[in-house]
Every structure is written in structure tokens, then in C-alpha cells.
Amino acid sequence: MQIGIVGLPNSTKTTIFNALTQSQEQTAATSSGKVEVHTAMVTVPDPRVDHLSEIYNPQKTTYARVQYNDVAGLRVGVGQEGALSGQLLNAVAQSDALLHVVRAFEDEHIPHPEGSIDAIRDLTALEFEFLISDLQIVERRLDRLEHDLSRKGSYGERQTDQKELDLLKRIKDSLEQEIPIRDLDLSEVEEKRLRGYQFLTAKPALIAISVGDTGSDNPDDYPAYQHNKSDLVCIHGALEMEISQLSQEDANIFLEEYGIDEPGLNRMIRLNYELLGLQSFFTVGEDEVRAWTIPIGANTIDAAGTIHSDLARGFIRAEVVNYHDFIKAGSLAEARKEGTVRLEGRNYLVQDGDILNIRFNV
């Protein structure tokens, strides 16, 4: 999973990137046409993995991971000028979801490119650039499709091209009304047809309101962001970066002193999972305890293939127990006695927190 961190210059998105990834990058910039992108992998915090590791004491414990890409600050007008293209567009488009950082605090040492603080204005401005970028892609593709369909006679892809044309015309109408693609009621087939375009307004978006040191961290104190596949979180960027640089012991003391239940970054990662419709299942043993990421609605064959293609190819059955039933029983043997360990076939839909043991033969 890749998350692209975007925002206007001086929005503190690189500060949040540093907090998420325990990095010490300086503010990204675009110069001489070169796009700077900072990339880092982040371990997904999961107390269930911690607990399973304590029980099994394995040789190796492996958490799920997320890649964050900090894209150079995007200025207002970049889409309308056609500058949101090439390497810059690719840097954003390759992400599975966007983390859109919006600044909501004053700081005389960090000038705002627009001269004043207005979170909704900034959010709307950058999203408009994404709308323009998507619209330009749609219009270019429509020109090509209309040219191909204008030819007399039939050709192999005519029916497919006509369906794509009809869908893109619908999307064009919505974008011209400033409606992001994620707000459209698209069928599974239509979403699959659009996947290759990597439209920016189709991507799930987590809006991170950067509130400075003293701003409210209650999302209800800010205007609602009412779009599909979207959510809003408030973040104390500099404070979170400071916490991320501490040892785990010192970080726990810091959080306790300030009455913070968990780092805001943990909440941010969890929201990204929810927006992308992802969940975790586990494999356990003395050699390794590991968390795996799969989409909600995936079956045991999908889960087996995530572990290794051979397991999917030779799948026989999956031994399944949910994490909570396992913890309640205290061991796999006790869970079997209590009847919470089940044998499931290939069509079983894996649930978040399931512990799987794949039986296979190749």
C-alpha cells in the first residue's frame, strides 16, 4: 500500500512525513523541473501482533507495512497550467490513496504562500487542481475514442470502446461540475475499467488538518468534509514528529504526561486502512508471527496467494480461528477444544483478525 502525501508549500506535510516515518527530511521542493519525492516504509502498529508475539516468542515478528511518498509542494495553478503532468503527476498517481495536509495555524516563521491561513480555501484550491488534471486526461482519451468510433464498419474493440466512451462522458460532466470521481456511484465493472487511468479525484483521501502546537484536535471544530472514500483527522505535526524521535519508553511517558491515548499517527494509519477497505489476518508459529494485509471481502484463496502463490495453487483447506477467540482460549489447543477453530474452504471470506493456517498440496 502506498500513500501519497500532498499539500501546498509550507503546509507542514514534510513535518508529518518525518513524524510518520521517523525521518529527518527537509522541506521538499520543485526546482529546475525536477520533482523531489521522499519515500519511506512505515510499520503498521498493531497490538494484536505484539500480543501474539509474546505468546509464541518467535524467531521473527513481521508487521504489515505502508509506504509513504512525500511529494514536493504543489502550488495553486499547477493543474490549470498543465504543469501537473509527467514525473509530478506520476509521483501522485502511483499512490493508492492521498494524505492531503492542510495548514490551519499561524506561524510568522513559516509564511503561507497565499499570505493568510484558510484551511478550506487551501483544500478546495488543490482539489481543483486535481479535478483539472483528471479532466485533461478524460478529454484526451475522449478525442481518441471518438476518432476510433467514427470509422465506418466494425472492429474488434468497438463495443468495449463505446462503453468506455459513455463512462468517460459521464465522468467529464461530473468533473466539469467540480464533483470528484470518488463521489460517483460507479459499479465494480466501471471502477475496474477506470483503474488504469489512476485518476487523482478517484483516490481515497484522508484530509490531515495540521493544527500546530495549540490548535484543536477535534475534527468537529472544522468544517465537515463530505465526500465518499474520505475522512478528516487533526494532527499536531511538530509534536508528533518529536514523539516519533523518542524511544518507545520515553514516548509512552510523554503520551501519559500529556494525557494522549495514542499517537495521532497511529489513528492516521488506521483511517488509511479503513478508507482503502483493507484488513489484517495473521499467521503464527515459533518461526514467525506475521500480519498480512488483504482487502475486505477477500477469501481464503486470496489470503493464501498473499502468503505465497504455491499455497493458493495447492489450496486444500484453511484452519481458521479469530484473534479474540484465540486470546480468550489462551492457546490454539484450547481453542480447538472450545470449537472456535474451524476448517474453511476456498469461498470463506476472511475476517479482520483471523489467524490462518493454510493446508495445501503441490
Cell numbers at 66, concatenated: 505502508
User: Which pLDDT score, from 0 to 100, does residue 260 have?
Assistant: 72
Computed over every residue of the chain, the mean pLDDT equals 87
Q: What is the pLDDT of residues 68-78, one digit of tens each?
A: 988 876 767 66
pLDDT at 24: 62
Does 31 have pLDDT greater than 50? Answer: no
Distance CA 97, CA 108 (A): 32
The residues, any chain, with a CB within 8 Å of residue 200's CB and separated by 6 or more, are 92, 93, 98, 130, 133, 134
Instruction: Please report the pLDDT score of residue 26 as a whole number.
Output: 58
Could you tell me the pTM of the whole model? Answer: 0.83
Q: What is the DSSP letter of 299?
A: B
Banded pLDDT at 303 (limits 50, 70, 90):
very high
pLDDT of residue 94: 87
Q: Please answer whether residues 107 and 123 qualify as being in contact, where contact means their C-beta atoms are separated by less than 8 angstroms.
A: no
pLDDT tops 50 at residue 33: no
Mean pLDDT, range 116-135, rounded to an integer: 89
| Residue 224, pLDDT score | 77
Least confident of 29-33, 93-97, 308-312: 29-33
Q: Does pLDDT of 85 surpass 80?
A: no
pLDDT of residue 81: 56
- Residues 199, 270, 133: CA angle, nearest 5 degrees: 15
Q: Is the pLDDT reported for residue 257 higher than 60?
A: yes
Q: Is the dihedral of CA 332, 335, 336, 342 positive or negative?
A: negative
Q: Which of 116-120, 182-186, 311-315 has the lowest mean pLDDT?
A: 116-120
Copy the grid coordinates of residue 337: 477444544
pLDDT score of 1: 84
Q: How far apart are the first and last CA of the chain?
A: 29
CA atoms of 105 and 119, how far apart (whole Å): 9
Percent of the chain whose predicted confidence (pLDDT) is above 90: 51
